[in-house]
Protein backbone atom coordinates (compact mmCIF):
# COMPACT_ATOMS: atom_id res chain seq x y z
CA UNK A 1 0.00 0.00 0.00
CA UNK A 2 1.47 3.31 -1.03
CA UNK A 3 2.16 5.74 1.86
CA UNK A 4 1.31 9.33 1.10
CA UNK A 5 4.03 11.97 1.30
CA UNK A 6 2.42 14.13 4.01
CA UNK A 7 2.24 11.17 6.37
CA UNK A 8 5.92 10.30 5.78
CA UNK A 9 6.94 13.90 6.37
CA UNK A 10 4.92 14.02 9.58
CA UNK A 11 6.58 10.82 10.89
CA UNK A 12 10.05 12.09 10.00
CA UNK A 13 9.36 15.41 11.75
CA UNK A 14 8.22 13.56 14.86
CA UNK A 15 11.35 11.40 14.89
CA UNK A 16 13.48 14.48 14.37
CA UNK A 17 11.74 16.28 17.24
CA UNK A 18 12.38 13.29 19.58
CA UNK A 19 16.08 13.12 18.64
CA UNK A 20 16.56 16.89 19.18
CA UNK A 21 14.89 16.83 22.62
CA UNK A 22 17.13 13.95 23.72
CA UNK A 23 20.39 15.38 22.33
CA UNK A 24 19.82 18.82 23.85
CA UNK A 25 18.29 17.46 27.08
CA UNK A 26 15.06 19.37 26.53
CA UNK A 27 13.22 16.43 28.01
CA UNK A 28 14.62 13.31 29.66
CA UNK A 29 13.81 9.97 28.15
CA UNK A 30 11.64 9.09 31.12
CA UNK A 31 9.73 12.39 31.01
CA UNK A 32 9.26 12.35 27.27
CA UNK A 33 6.13 10.12 27.20
CA UNK A 34 4.38 12.16 29.91
CA UNK A 35 5.32 15.39 28.14
CA UNK A 36 3.90 14.04 24.92
CA UNK A 37 0.74 13.01 26.75
CA UNK A 38 0.43 16.44 28.36
CA UNK A 39 1.00 18.18 25.08
CA UNK A 40 -1.49 15.93 23.33
CA UNK A 41 -4.03 16.43 26.12
CA UNK A 42 -3.50 20.18 25.99
CA UNK A 43 -3.90 20.13 22.25
CA UNK A 44 -7.14 18.17 22.62
CA UNK A 45 -8.46 20.58 25.28
CA UNK A 46 -7.48 23.55 23.11
CA UNK A 47 -9.16 21.96 20.11
CA UNK A 48 -12.33 21.27 22.09
CA UNK A 49 -12.43 24.84 23.46
CA UNK A 50 -11.74 26.21 20.00
CA UNK A 51 -14.49 23.98 18.55
CA UNK A 52 -16.99 25.10 21.21
CA UNK A 53 -16.09 28.74 20.59
CA UNK A 54 -16.42 28.24 16.85
CA UNK A 55 -19.82 26.53 17.25
CA UNK A 56 -21.07 29.32 19.53
CA UNK A 57 -19.76 31.89 17.10
CA UNK A 58 -21.65 30.19 14.26
CA UNK A 59 -24.82 30.08 16.39
CA UNK A 60 -24.45 33.78 17.23
CA UNK A 61 -23.93 34.75 13.61
CA UNK A 62 -26.83 32.50 12.55
CA UNK A 63 -29.17 34.01 15.15
CA UNK A 64 -28.11 37.50 14.17
CA UNK A 65 -28.71 36.69 10.52
CA UNK A 66 -32.13 35.19 11.30
CA UNK A 67 -33.07 38.30 13.28
CA UNK A 68 -32.09 40.48 10.33
CA UNK A 69 -34.10 38.30 7.92
CA UNK A 70 -37.11 38.26 10.27
CA UNK A 71 -36.97 42.01 10.64
CA UNK A 72 -36.68 42.46 6.90
CA UNK A 73 -39.63 40.14 6.22
CA UNK A 74 -41.71 41.92 8.88
CA UNK A 75 -41.02 45.27 7.22
CA UNK A 76 -42.03 43.84 3.83
CA UNK A 77 -45.27 42.38 5.24
CA UNK A 78 -46.14 45.63 7.00
CA UNK A 79 -45.47 47.55 3.79
CA UNK A 80 -47.65 45.13 1.82
CA UNK A 81 -50.45 45.44 4.39
CA UNK A 82 -50.16 49.21 4.26
CA UNK A 83 -50.39 49.14 0.47
CA UNK A 84 -53.41 46.81 0.58
CA UNK A 85 -55.13 49.06 3.13
CA UNK A 86 -54.50 52.09 0.92
CA UNK A 87 -55.88 50.27 -2.12
CA UNK A 88 -58.96 49.16 -0.15
CA UNK A 89 -59.54 52.71 1.06
CA UNK A 90 -59.18 54.04 -2.51
CA UNK A 91 -61.58 51.38 -3.83
CA UNK A 92 -64.11 52.18 -1.11
CA UNK A 93 -63.92 55.89 -1.94
CA UNK A 94 -64.38 55.20 -5.67
CA UNK A 95 -67.34 52.90 -5.01
CA UNK A 96 -69.03 55.45 -2.74
CA UNK A 97 -68.61 58.17 -5.36
CA UNK A 98 -69.89 55.80 -8.05
CA UNK A 99 -72.92 54.97 -5.91
CA UNK A 100 -73.64 58.69 -5.40
CA UNK A 101 -73.49 59.41 -9.15
CA UNK A 102 -75.76 56.44 -9.97
CA UNK A 103 -78.34 57.43 -7.34
CA UNK A 104 -78.43 61.04 -8.55
CA UNK A 105 -78.89 59.91 -12.16
CA UNK A 106 -81.70 57.52 -11.19
CA UNK A 107 -83.36 60.32 -9.18
CA UNK A 108 -83.39 62.61 -12.24
CA UNK A 109 -84.83 60.04 -14.63
CA UNK A 110 -87.33 58.84 -12.04
CA UNK A 111 -88.61 62.37 -11.57
CA UNK A 112 -89.20 62.57 -15.34
CA UNK A 113 -91.04 59.24 -15.26
CA UNK A 114 -93.23 60.25 -12.32
CA UNK A 115 -94.20 63.53 -13.97
CA UNK A 116 -94.65 61.91 -17.39
CA UNK A 117 -93.24 65.13 -18.75
CA UNK A 118 -89.97 65.67 -20.62
CA UNK A 119 -88.87 69.06 -21.90
CA UNK A 120 -85.56 70.25 -23.34
CA UNK A 121 -84.20 71.42 -19.99
CA UNK A 122 -84.84 68.09 -18.26
CA UNK A 123 -83.37 66.16 -21.17
CA UNK A 124 -80.30 68.42 -21.17
CA UNK A 125 -79.86 67.79 -17.44
CA UNK A 126 -80.15 64.05 -17.98
CA UNK A 127 -77.69 63.86 -20.87
CA UNK A 128 -75.25 66.24 -19.14
CA UNK A 129 -75.10 63.96 -16.10
CA UNK A 130 -74.54 61.01 -18.42
CA UNK A 131 -71.57 62.57 -20.22
CA UNK A 132 -70.01 64.47 -17.31
CA UNK A 133 -70.33 61.95 -14.48
CA UNK A 134 -72.02 58.64 -15.22
CA UNK A 135 -69.92 57.66 -18.22
CA UNK A 136 -66.74 57.72 -16.09
CA UNK A 137 -67.85 54.56 -14.28
CA UNK A 138 -69.54 52.61 -17.08
CA UNK A 139 -68.04 49.82 -19.15
CA UNK A 140 -68.50 49.91 -22.92
CA UNK A 141 -71.57 47.66 -22.95
CA UNK A 142 -73.35 49.74 -20.30
CA UNK A 143 -72.44 52.98 -22.08
CA UNK A 144 -74.08 51.65 -25.22
CA UNK A 145 -77.19 50.39 -23.41
CA UNK A 146 -77.82 53.62 -21.52
CA UNK A 147 -76.85 55.80 -24.49
CA UNK A 148 -79.41 54.05 -26.73
CA UNK A 149 -82.06 54.39 -24.00
CA UNK A 150 -81.38 58.12 -23.73
CA UNK A 151 -81.70 58.49 -27.50
CA UNK A 152 -85.10 56.79 -27.36
CA UNK A 153 -86.20 59.00 -24.47
CA UNK A 154 -85.06 62.06 -26.45
CA UNK A 155 -87.75 61.31 -29.04
CA UNK A 156 -90.33 62.00 -26.32
CA UNK A 157 -89.34 65.62 -25.69
CA UNK A 158 -92.43 67.85 -25.36
CA UNK A 159 -94.79 64.97 -26.07
CA UNK A 160 -98.19 65.10 -24.38
CA UNK A 161 -99.06 61.86 -22.62
CA UNK A 162 -102.75 62.61 -23.20
CA UNK A 163 -102.27 62.80 -26.97
CA UNK A 164 -99.44 60.31 -27.45
CA UNK A 165 -99.74 56.98 -25.61
CA UNK A 166 -96.45 55.81 -27.09
CA UNK A 167 -94.68 58.49 -25.03
CA UNK A 168 -95.54 56.78 -21.75
CA UNK A 169 -94.57 53.33 -23.03
CA UNK A 170 -91.26 54.55 -24.45
CA UNK A 171 -90.39 56.48 -21.31
CA UNK A 172 -91.30 53.57 -19.04
CA UNK A 173 -89.39 50.91 -20.98
CA UNK A 174 -86.22 52.97 -21.27
CA UNK A 175 -86.37 54.15 -17.67
CA UNK A 176 -86.48 50.49 -16.61
CA UNK A 177 -83.63 49.67 -18.96
CA UNK A 178 -81.37 52.39 -17.53
CA UNK A 179 -82.08 51.53 -13.89
CA UNK A 180 -81.61 47.80 -14.55
CA UNK A 181 -78.26 48.50 -16.22
CA UNK A 182 -77.04 50.62 -13.30
CA UNK A 183 -78.07 47.98 -10.76
CA UNK A 184 -76.10 45.38 -12.72
CA UNK A 185 -73.09 47.72 -12.84
CA UNK A 186 -73.13 48.03 -9.04
CA UNK A 187 -73.31 44.22 -8.68
CA UNK A 188 -75.96 44.57 -5.97
CA UNK A 189 -77.74 41.45 -7.12
CA UNK A 190 -81.07 43.23 -7.62
CA UNK A 191 -83.04 44.23 -10.66
CA UNK A 192 -86.44 45.44 -11.80
CA UNK A 193 -89.26 42.93 -12.17
CA UNK A 194 -91.02 44.77 -14.97
CA UNK A 195 -94.34 42.99 -14.64
CA UNK A 196 -94.44 43.50 -10.87
CA UNK A 197 -93.44 47.15 -11.19
CA UNK A 198 -96.04 47.81 -13.85
CA UNK A 199 -98.79 46.30 -11.67
CA UNK A 200 -97.69 48.39 -8.68
CA UNK A 201 -97.49 51.53 -10.83
CA UNK A 202 -101.02 50.98 -12.11
CA UNK A 203 -102.18 50.67 -8.53
CA UNK A 204 -100.37 53.89 -7.59
CA UNK A 205 -101.96 55.61 -10.58
CA UNK A 206 -105.29 55.39 -8.74
CA UNK A 207 -103.94 57.70 -6.05
CA UNK A 208 -101.96 60.11 -8.22
CA UNK A 209 -103.52 63.44 -9.13
CA UNK A 210 -105.28 63.01 -12.45
CA UNK A 211 -103.41 64.50 -15.36
CA UNK A 212 -105.74 66.76 -17.25
CA UNK A 213 -105.48 67.31 -20.96
CA UNK A 214 -103.83 70.62 -21.78
CA UNK A 215 -106.37 72.98 -23.31
CA UNK A 216 -106.59 76.68 -24.08
CA UNK A 217 -109.25 76.98 -21.41
CA UNK A 218 -107.00 75.36 -18.79
CA UNK A 219 -104.27 77.83 -19.77
CA UNK A 220 -106.75 80.72 -19.61
CA UNK A 221 -106.25 81.51 -23.30
CA UNK A 222 -109.33 83.07 -24.86
CA UNK A 223 -110.80 82.41 -28.30
CA UNK A 224 -109.26 84.74 -30.88
CA UNK A 225 -105.85 84.89 -29.17
CA UNK A 226 -102.87 85.13 -31.52
CA UNK A 227 -100.13 82.54 -30.94
CA UNK A 228 -96.58 82.71 -32.34
CA UNK A 229 -94.66 79.74 -33.75
CA UNK A 230 -91.52 79.22 -31.67
CA UNK A 231 -89.27 78.13 -34.55
CA UNK A 232 -90.28 81.00 -36.80
CA UNK A 233 -91.84 84.06 -35.13
CA UNK A 234 -93.21 85.26 -38.46
CA UNK A 235 -95.70 82.37 -38.36
CA UNK A 236 -98.89 83.15 -36.40
CA UNK A 237 -102.16 81.33 -35.75
CA UNK A 238 -105.45 82.22 -34.01
CA UNK A 239 -107.27 80.10 -31.41
CA UNK A 240 -110.82 79.20 -32.52
CA UNK A 241 -112.12 77.21 -29.53
CA UNK A 242 -111.36 76.64 -25.86
CA UNK A 243 -109.74 73.24 -26.42
CA UNK A 244 -106.91 73.07 -28.94
CA UNK A 245 -108.15 74.27 -32.34
CA UNK A 246 -106.39 77.06 -34.24
CA UNK A 247 -106.70 78.75 -37.62
CA UNK A 248 -103.72 79.14 -39.96
CA UNK A 249 -103.90 80.42 -43.56
CA UNK A 250 -107.71 80.15 -43.42
CA UNK A 251 -107.56 76.47 -42.45
CA UNK A 252 -108.25 74.95 -39.07
CA UNK A 253 -106.02 72.43 -37.27
CA UNK A 254 -105.48 71.09 -33.80
CA UNK A 255 -102.52 72.95 -32.40
CA UNK A 256 -100.46 69.73 -32.54
CA UNK A 257 -101.68 69.05 -36.08
CA UNK A 258 -100.40 72.47 -37.15
CA UNK A 259 -97.07 71.84 -35.42
CA UNK A 260 -96.78 68.55 -37.31
CA UNK A 261 -97.52 70.31 -40.60
CA UNK A 262 -94.84 72.94 -39.95
CA UNK A 263 -92.19 70.68 -38.45
CA UNK A 264 -93.00 67.21 -39.68
CA UNK A 265 -93.20 64.21 -37.39
CA UNK A 266 -95.24 63.97 -34.21
CA UNK A 267 -95.15 67.06 -31.98
CA UNK A 268 -96.88 68.56 -28.99
CA UNK A 269 -98.30 71.81 -30.30
CA UNK A 270 -98.38 73.38 -26.85
CA UNK A 271 -94.58 73.07 -26.83
CA UNK A 272 -94.24 74.67 -30.27
CA UNK A 273 -96.24 77.89 -29.93
CA UNK A 274 -95.81 80.90 -27.66
CA UNK A 275 -97.92 83.58 -26.06
CA UNK A 276 -96.28 86.80 -24.96
CA UNK A 277 -92.85 85.26 -25.52
CA UNK A 278 -93.53 82.22 -23.36
CA UNK A 279 -94.06 78.66 -24.62
CA UNK A 280 -97.62 77.52 -23.93
CA UNK A 281 -96.56 74.37 -22.10
CA UNK A 282 -94.71 76.58 -19.62
CA UNK A 283 -97.85 78.56 -18.88
CA UNK A 284 -99.24 75.46 -17.21
CA UNK A 285 -96.65 75.81 -14.45
CA UNK A 286 -97.83 79.32 -13.63
CA UNK A 287 -101.44 78.30 -13.12
**What pLDDT does 1 receive?**
47
Name every residue whose Cβ is closer than 8 Å to that of residue 2 and which is 6 or more positions away in sequence.
Answer: none
**What pLDDT does 170 receive?**
84
**What pLDDT does 249 receive?**
94
Residue by residue, DSSP assigns 207-265 as: TSPPPPPP-TTTTTPPTT-EEEESS-TT-EEEE-SSSSEEEETTEEEEHHHHHHHHH-S
**What pLDDT does 225 receive?**
95
**What pLDDT does 162 receive?**
53
**What are the 10-residue block averages of pLDDT along the chain, 287 residues in total?**
61 65 60 56 61 71 71 64 56 82 87 76 86 87 91 79 68 86 74 69 59 78 94 94 93 90 84 90 69
**Which residue pairs from 198-202 have beta carbons closer than 8 angstroms and sit at least 24 positions apart in sequence?**
198/172, 201/172
According to DSSP, residue 3 is labeled P
Distances (CA, A) of 269 to 96, 260, 266, 273: 43, 8, 9, 6
Amino acid sequence: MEIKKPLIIAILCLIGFVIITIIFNVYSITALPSSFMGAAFGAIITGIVTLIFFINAIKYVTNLLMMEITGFMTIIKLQEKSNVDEVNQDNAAVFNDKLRVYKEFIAVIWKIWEGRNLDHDKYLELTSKFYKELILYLNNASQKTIGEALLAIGDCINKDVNEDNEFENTLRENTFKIIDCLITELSLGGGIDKELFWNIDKKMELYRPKRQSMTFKALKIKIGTELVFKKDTSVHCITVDEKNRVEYNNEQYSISGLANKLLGGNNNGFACFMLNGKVLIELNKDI
